[in-house]
Amino acid sequence: MAFPKKKLQGLVAATITPMTENGEINFSVIGQYVDYLVKEQGVKNIFVNGTTGEGLSLSISERRQVAEEWVTKGKDKLDQVVIHVGALSLKESQELAQHAAEIGADGIAVIAPFFLKPWTKDILINFLKEVAAAAPALPFYYYHIPALTGVKIRAEELLDGIQDKIPTFRGLKFSDTDLLDFGQCVDQNRQQQFAFLFGVDEQLLSALVMGATGAVGSTYNYLGKKTNQMLEAFERKDLSLALNYQFCIQRFINFVVKLGFGVSQTKAIMTLVSGIPMGPPRLPLQKASREFTDSAEAKLKSLDFLSFADLKDGSLEASS
Ligand SMILES: CC(=O)N[C@H](C=O)[C@@H](O)[C@H](O)[C@H](O)CO
Ligand SMILES: CC(=O)C(=O)O
């Protein structure tokens, strides 16, 4: 019976955790948020409680409630809901994995523990294996994000023989710019049906060329539609149009990166674009400044990202 689901592919939005002005989780907007992703952005997969969702800044009880709300509100609307269950405590991670299975999530993902760290591939595999075993019927994804975890074990090395150790292993979320490592993950695992999900939105086109089967990212919350157009152009082998879309997306990301871009800014941008209040982030993050939001808004407008007007071939060049 295990894994009736089809392979996770296409865009996966790393969901924001909406909060109220006093820092509590704002569950009341999650239903609207699901509809927005599906209808306005054409995004039908989500990745909950990850980096963008401030998963590691939430309590275990909050993480369970958030996961449950997304699964409930996504029912019959979303294709797949993957829950990030990584934690420093193996016990907590296992508890969250088991909970994800109980509520009917479609998969779980785990980052490397990042305080007391695994120093070898085998130790990291052992940790992941123990978490995966707590949800033996759920597809398992390793979430590789070395810049944030400080665990630099190459993904290519980790994947070597991983299914013998973790039978539920189904794919990799790769949030790093090392396309040699990413390409070799794909190249060395052609026999498997793994999902190779890229996590650096501004470089997605390069990863598609390397064999990415999908992407998980924060910008798909509000640039999902535009990115889907890039995926379609790539599918049709229209590389120059695909590149036009990637450059258009890069112009925006490059602009905000220079202003200082992270989860707080993602919350502000999503509020602006979707009209759904995402609220402030939780400490240690700080709310994005007014100046940031104003500049981002002006840029979004100049790139036509706010009106969602359909761009025709060629009109992209003009919008910078
Ligand atoms: C570190 C981080 O949060 N990475 C996100 C997902 O992996 C991306 O979606 C980035 O936010 C995006 O690529 C912009 O740099
Ligand atoms: C971007 C991403 O995948 C995350 O927020 O975890």
Q: Are 111 and 173 in contact (CB under 8 A)?
A: no
Cβ < 6 Å from ligand 1: which residues? Answer: 14, 51-52, 175, 199-202, 217-219, 253
Tell me, what's the pLDDT at 6?
86
> Rounded to the nearest whole angstrom, what is the distance from the C-alpha of residue 79 to the centroid of ligand 2?
18
The answer to the question of residue 306 being in a domain is no
User: Can you tell me the distance from the alpha carbon of 12 to that of 103, in angstroms, rounded to the nearest whole number?
Assistant: 20
Residue 313 has pLDDT above 70, yes or no: no
> Rounded to the nearest whole angstrom, what is the distance from the C-alpha of residue 144 to the centroid of ligand 1?
12
User: Which pLDDT band, with edges at 50, 70 and 90, does 4 fall under?
Assistant: low
Give the rounded distance of the alpha carbon of 116 from its chain centre. Answer: 24
User: Which pLDDT band, with edges at 50, 70 and 90, does 3 fall under?
Assistant: low
Tell me, what's the pLDDT at 307?
62
Q: Which amino acid is it at 299?
A: K
User: Which pLDDT band, with edges at 50, 70 and 90, does 314 fall under?
Assistant: very low
Q: Of the ligands numbered here, which is closest to the C-alpha atom of 263? A: 1
Domain span at residue 158 reads 10-223
Residue 266 Cα distances to 92, 97, 110, 288, 292, angstroms: 27, 27, 22, 9, 11
Q: Are 116 and 147 in contact (CB under 8 A)?
A: no
Of 141, 142, 143, 245, which is the active-site residue? Answer: 143
How many domains does the structure of the chain reveal? 1
* ipTM of this predicted structure: 0.95
Residue 304 has pLDDT above 90, yes or no: no
User: Which pLDDT band, with edges at 50, 70 and 90, does 315 fall under?
Assistant: very low
Count Cβ atoms within 10 A of the Cβ of residue 268 and give its class: 0-12 exposed, 13-18 middle, 19 or more buried. buried
Give tens-digit pLDDT for 163-183: 999 999 999 999 999 999 999
User: Which pLDDT band, with edges at 50, 70 and 90, does 317 fall under?
Assistant: very low
Tell me, what's the pLDDT at 281?
98
Percent of the chain with pLDDT over 70: 94
User: Which pLDDT band, with edges at 50, 70 and 90, does 311 fall under?
Assistant: very low
Q: Are 248 and 305 in contact (CB under 8 A)?
A: no
Q: Could you identify the atom of ligand 2 that is nearest to the CA of residue 52?
A: 5
Give tens-digit pLDDT for 103-128: 999 999 999 999 999 999 999 999 99
Cβ < 6 Å from ligand 2: which residues? Answer: 14, 47, 50-52, 199, 216-218
Give tens-digit pLDDT for 36-93: 999 999 999 999 999 999 999 999 999 999 999 999 999 999 999 999 999 999 999 9
Q: What is the CATH number of the domain that holds 75?
A: 3.20.20.70
Q: Are 253 and 217 in contact (CB under 8 A)?
A: no
Residues found in the chain: 320
The answer to the question of residue 251 being in a domain is no
User: Which pLDDT band, with edges at 50, 70 and 90, does 308 fall under?
Assistant: very low
Q: Could you identify the atom of ligand 2 that is nearest to the CA of residue 15?
A: 5
Q: Is 143 labeled as catalytic in the residue annotation?
A: yes
Name beta bridge partners: 110.
142
Q: Of the ligands numbered here, which is closest to the C-alpha atom of 200? A: 1
Give tens-digit pLDDT for 219-263: 999 999 999 999 999 999 999 999 999 999 999 999 999 999 999
Strand blocks (E) in 158-272: 169-174, 195-198, 214-217
For ligand 1, atom 8, which residue shows the shortest CA distance?
A: 217
The answer to the question of residue 50 being in a domain is yes
The answer to the question of residue 75 being in a domain is yes
The answer to the question of residue 183 being in a domain is yes
The answer to the question of residue 125 being in a domain is yes
Residue 317 Cα distances to 204, 239, 312, angstroms: 19, 15, 11
Whether 52 has a binding-site annotation, put simply, is yes
User: Can you tell me the distance from the alpha carbon of 5 to that of 106, in angstroms, rounded to the nearest whole number?
Assistant: 8
The answer to the question of residue 318 being in a domain is no
The answer to the question of residue 279 being in a domain is no
Of 173, 226, 267, 299, which is the active-site residue? Answer: 173
Residue 22 has pLDDT above 80, yes or no: yes
Neighbours of 9 (CB within 10 A): 18
Site to probe by mutation for ligand 2, drawn from 16, 47, 263 as the one with most ligand atoms within 8 Å of Cβ, is 47
Whether 216 has a binding-site annotation, put simply, is yes
Give the rounded distance of the alpha carbon of 120 from its chain centre. Answer: 26
> Rounded to the nearest whole angstrom, what is the distance from the C-alpha of residue 121 to the centroid of ligand 2?
22
